[in-house]
Structure formats: C-alpha cells, structure tokens
Amino acid sequence: MVRRLYIMLILLLVVGPYPSEAAAKSLTIIHSNDMHSHFLDAPPNIDYTPSITGDDRTGGGWARIAAVIKQVKQERSNPVLVVNAGDFLMGSLFHMLSREQAFELRLLSMMRYDAVGLGNHEFDFKPGGLARILASARGSGKIPPLVASNVIFSAESNKDDALETIFSQGVVKPFLVLEKDGLRIGIFGLMGKDAAEVAPFASPVSFADPIAAAQKMVKVLRDTQSVDLVICLSHSGLSENPKKSEDEILARKIDGIDIIISGHTHTRVNDALQINNTIIVQSGAYGKQLGVLDINYADGHVSLNNYRLMEINDSISGDADIYNATFLKVIGDYNWQILKIVPKDRNGNPIDDLKRMRIDADRQKPGIQELKEWQGVIAYIQSFTDTDANGLPNVPDKYRGKLGRNVVEASWNPYQLLKRGNYITWLTLAALGMGVFILLGMVRFIVKKVG
Ligand SMILES: [Zn+2]
C-alpha cells in the first residue's frame, strides 16, 4: 500500500499538472446594440410592467435587461463583460431630453456596462449636442467607459471643438484595456462605412476608414498594450449582400480581432459567425434581444464555448432600480407632464404654445423640427377604431382589462354633472336642495324676528 502511494507520488511529480489546461480561462460577454433610447420598449409603453411577469406582450425594456445582466453574472463563476456597439440614442421621446439629462448613458452606467461604442445616431444632435450629452452624463457622475477609434475632428471648423475637448479629457477613448482574472482584454470602438455615410449631422466630424483604423488598433493593443484578446465594438453591421457585410469583410481583412460585437444593421445573429479566427455576433435592436457569448481562452487562442441570443420579454422580472429610474421617476417627472418640456424649433427658439404649432411631418417644409415624434403618438391613437361613431378613435377593449387603466370615475366637473347625471349629481342636487331649504327657513326666521 505504502509502495503504491510512493509510486503515485513519483508519477505525479514526473508528469505534473497539464500546463495548457491550467492556463485555459473562460470569459462571458453580454452584448447589446442599437437600443435607441427604448427604455420601455416600443409603444404602447403603458403596457410595459416589468415588475409583474406574464401580463403583457411587450418585448425589451432596460429594467429587464439589467435583471438578465445580474442573473448571468450570478450564474457564471468566470468574469463577465458587458458591452454595447452603439446607437444607444434616438428613437423614443426620452432622447429629446438626452442633452440635459443623458438618461441613456446614466442608465448604461447603472446597468454596469464595461464599454460602450458610438453609433451614427449619437451624432444626430450634431457634435455640440453629443458634447452636451457626454457632459451631462459626466456631471451626474454616471457615465460608462466609451470607445471610438476612428473619429476625426476638423482642424478648420470650430463647430466640433466642444466635442474634441471632452474627448481629449478621456471621456471617450480610442481603446480600453481591462484586466479580468489575469486576462488583458483590449476593446476598441469603430464607426463603419455605411454608418459614417448616414451621419450627416456629424459634420465637421468625419470618420477614418474603418479597416485601416482597425488595423492600427490591433497593432497598438497587441504590440504596445500586450493584450491577450481583442474585442471590436463595431457600428458597421452585417448584410446578406457579401459586399455590404462590413463586419464580415473586417474579419476577413484584419487578423488579430478575436471578437466583433456588431451593430447598426439591427441583425439578429442566432448562431455566432466564425470567420478567420474572429467570432461575430449582433443582437437585433431596441433591446428586444441580448446576446450572451461564452468563450474559452488558451494558448493565445479564443474559442467559442456557447452563444445564446436571449429574448427580453415579459417572462423576465425587471430590475427594480432600473425600472424606477426609467419608469417611475422619468415618466413621473417628464412624460405625464410632457408639455412642461420646452420644445425648440429648427432655429433653437423655444416654442411656448404647442397648440398653434404644426407637426413636422415634412422636413422640406419650414416649421417644427423636434416635434415629429408627436406624429407617431397621434398616428398610434388614430390607429384605434371609432367604435361609437363620434368621430374620435376609441381605446380598444383590451386596455380595459385586468390592468384597469381605463377606469371611469364620477366627475365633479359641473358641466359633466349636468351632461351625464350620476350618483354624485343626485347627491349634489340633494345637498343643494337641503341647503336652499335651510337658508330659506333661516331668512324667514330672521325676517319674522326683525319684523
Ligand atoms: Zn446605426
């Protein structure tokens, strides 16, 4: 027995632990893209009840995404990275307040995003607008790490100077190096060709060729920063047309990018693509899906372990903190009192009387610029059928259901009381009658006494 143990000990000493297996590491990357300010999913936002499961059909919602991020982190024993590939702005009424409030960046920070790239829509309020959004987020103390590697500022124009200043202060960096469980991870942001072309408001900012910029970043990260793996947050995208599938082209042309987190084309990638040792994923749009990518790292190589595109829906109980931040607080402060927001016209002048203003349906015609979303709201209401033929669309019965939002309450408005008598009308009339009766009695009594 002792001899056998002795032999085993010698064998262990000779063979030793397997070095390659000991060096193998796992990493999980949670990713989103093109969330477009959809904190509450697409209308009807009012259907969105993330604190209750199984009661609505809405998809997406940042409170639910936050809950999934927390859950995945709990399930994994390995490090988890949370990243976004751009276009977090534009697409709901909330973005109208992004320059003052920067809800999007503040929430991404609260949701613990490790890196966020910029998309074309981040430039919709022009470079000055993006500078204000970044400054507001920084001022609130809640801003996620941001990356953009191919932004070029104009030397001639001063219209992008405010943005250039805030970039130079390190609010947006060309790349980040994060250390997780001994792994050095390099992350850089990239604006694709098509995205740059559809960002007319970015001027005088322009964007360097994404392939050349990526080549440069890989060299810097691998040679100077000695990273183990490289992740590109690419606002470029995927297409069925191979000539337009920019992220596939990027993977083919550039060696050394381990993972491309793709965005811009709103593509649902159900199975991770693998091209030239590069894994490519993208998770649809509007936060309706969230990608969860598990990889292994060993001997300088990244391999795909598992990939899942999770549906963000009513089966997920939303994170209360994010729900309060997105729903209760924001809606309470702003949405119900939306007319308290001072909208501005195309020339930046405040509009004080909304009733007189037209909706900006046609950008070619002079008029309002920032109110066009009202058209969406009105179109939504007009999509209901006029069931009682009074010339106004009626709220569908499904909204009268168990959620009970369309509660009919007795009104104290005198006009309503007269128009539609209810128990309050009769109570009021009875009280009035009693009052008059008592008053008359008193007058009679006084007259009698005086007389
Ligand atoms: Zn985009």
pLDDT, average across residues 184-196 = 97
Q: Ligand 1: distance of its center to the CA of 199 in Å? A: 9
Q: Which range has the worst mean pLDDT, 52-56, 334-338, 446-450?
A: 334-338
| pLDDT (0 to 100) of residue 410 | 54
Angle (CA) 444-447-449 rounded to 5° is 110
Task: Output the CA–CA distances (angstroms, integers) from residue 63 to 135, 231, 312, 324, 408, in the order listed.
Answer: 24, 26, 10, 8, 31
Q: Ligand 1: distance of its center to the CA of 61 in Å? A: 19
Q: Ligand 1: distance of its center to the CA of 426 in Å? A: 60
Q: pLDDT per residue over 233-247, tens digit each?
A: 999 999 999 999 999
CB 246 within 8 A of CB 257: no
Q: Ligand 1: distance of its center to the CA of 190 in Å? A: 11
Give all domains of the chain, ordered by start, each with its CATH number: 23-327 (3.60.21.10), 353-400 (no CATH), 414-444 (no CATH)
Q: Ligand 1: distance of its center to the CA of 22 in Å? A: 41
Which residues have C-beta within 8 Å of that of residue 341, sequence separation ≥ 6?
96, 97, 334
CB 350 within 8 A of CB 342: yes
Q: Ligand 1: distance of its center to the CA of 192 in Å? A: 9
Q: Ligand 1: distance of its center to the CA of 293 in Å? A: 22
The reported pTM is 0.70
Quickly count: other Cβ atoms within 10 Å of residue 377's Cβ.
13
| pLDDT (0 to 100) of residue 364 | 65
CB 278 within 8 A of CB 259: yes
Q: Ligand 1: distance of its center to the CA of 114 in Å? A: 20
Q: Ligand 1: distance of its center to the CA of 95 in Å? A: 15
Q: Ligand 1: distance of its center to the CA of 374 in Å? A: 23
Q: pLDDT per residue over 293-312, tens digit each?
A: 999 999 899 999 999 999 99
Q: Ligand 1: distance of its center to the CA of 198 in Å? A: 8
3-state secondary structure of 187: strand
Q: 161-168 and 126-140 are packed helices; what angle lies between their axes, rounded to 10 degrees?
A: 40
Q: Ligand 1: distance of its center to the CA of 360 in Å? A: 23
> Quick check: 338 pLDDT over 50?
no
Q: Ligand 1: distance of its center to the CA of 439 in Å? A: 73
Please, which residues have CB less than 5 A from ligand 1, an ion?
Answer: 87, 119-120, 195, 264
Q: Ligand 1: distance of its center to the CA of 243 in Å? A: 18
Q: Ligand 1: distance of its center to the CA of 120 in Å? A: 5
Confidence at 103, pLDDT banded by 50, 70, 90? confident
| pLDDT (0 to 100) of residue 381 | 66
Q: Ligand 1: distance of its center to the CA of 267 in Å? A: 11
> Quick check: 447 pLDDT over 80?
no
How far is the C-alpha of 375 from the C-alpha of 148, rounded, in Å?
Answer: 34
Helices then strands, counting H and E runs in the chain, come out as 15, 15
Q: Which range has the worst mean pLDDT, 40-44, 159-163, 227-231?
A: 40-44
Q: pLDDT per residue over 23-67, tens digit each?
A: 689 999 999 999 988 887 655 666 677 778 887 777 888 889 999
pLDDT, average across residues 390-418 = 60
Query: 268: which DSSP letter?
Result: B
Q: Ligand 1: distance of its center to the CA of 435 in Å? A: 68
